[in-house]
A and B are shown apart, each in its own frame.
Chain A
Amino acid sequence: MSFPAHITVLYFAAASTTLGITDELVPIPEKGLYLSQLTELLIERHSQSSLNALRKILDSSQWSIDAEMVDDEDLTKVELKDGMEVAVICPVSGG
Chain B
Amino acid sequence: MLPPGSSVEGVVELSGAVCSISYALDTVESTIKRVSDDRFGAIATFIGTTRNSFQGKAVTKLEYQAYTKLALKTMTQIIVDARNRSPDFRAVVQHRIGVVGVGEPSIVIAVASPHRNEAFRTCEFILEEVKRKAQIWKREYYEGKDESEAEWKSNV
Contacts and interface: CB of A to CB of B under 8 A. Distances in A.
Interface of A: 10-14, 16-17, 20, 22-23, 64, 67-69, 87, 89-95
B107 A67 contact: no
Interface string B31-75: 000000000000000001000000000000000111101110100
A14 B137 CA distance: 9
A92 B133 contact: yes
B70 A16 contact: no
Interface of B: 1-7, 48, 64-67, 69-71, 73, 95, 106-107, 127, 130-139, 152-156
A91 B154 contact: yes
B4 A93 contact: no
A94 B19 CA distance: 14
A94 B138 contact: yes
Contacts of B155: 91-95
Given A12-B7, A16-B1, A92-B155, A67 B69 contact: yes
Contacts of A64: 67, 70, 135
Nearest to B131: A95
A89 B130 CA distance: 15
Given A12-B6, A90-B154, A94-B95, 6 more contacts: A13-B152, A16-B4, A89-B67, A91-B155, A95-B107, A95-B127
A95 to B, nearest CB: 4
B3 A22 contact: yes
**Majority SS at the chain B contact face:** mixed
Given A14-B152, A64-B67, A94 B107 contact: yes
A25 to B, nearest CB: 13
B81 to A, nearest CB: 15
A91 B156 contact: yes
A95 B48 contact: yes
Contacts of A20: 1
B122 to A, nearest CB: 15
Contacts of A87: 6, 67, 70, 135
Nearest to B6: A10
B46 to A, nearest CB: 9
Contacts of B152: 13-14, 17, 90, 93
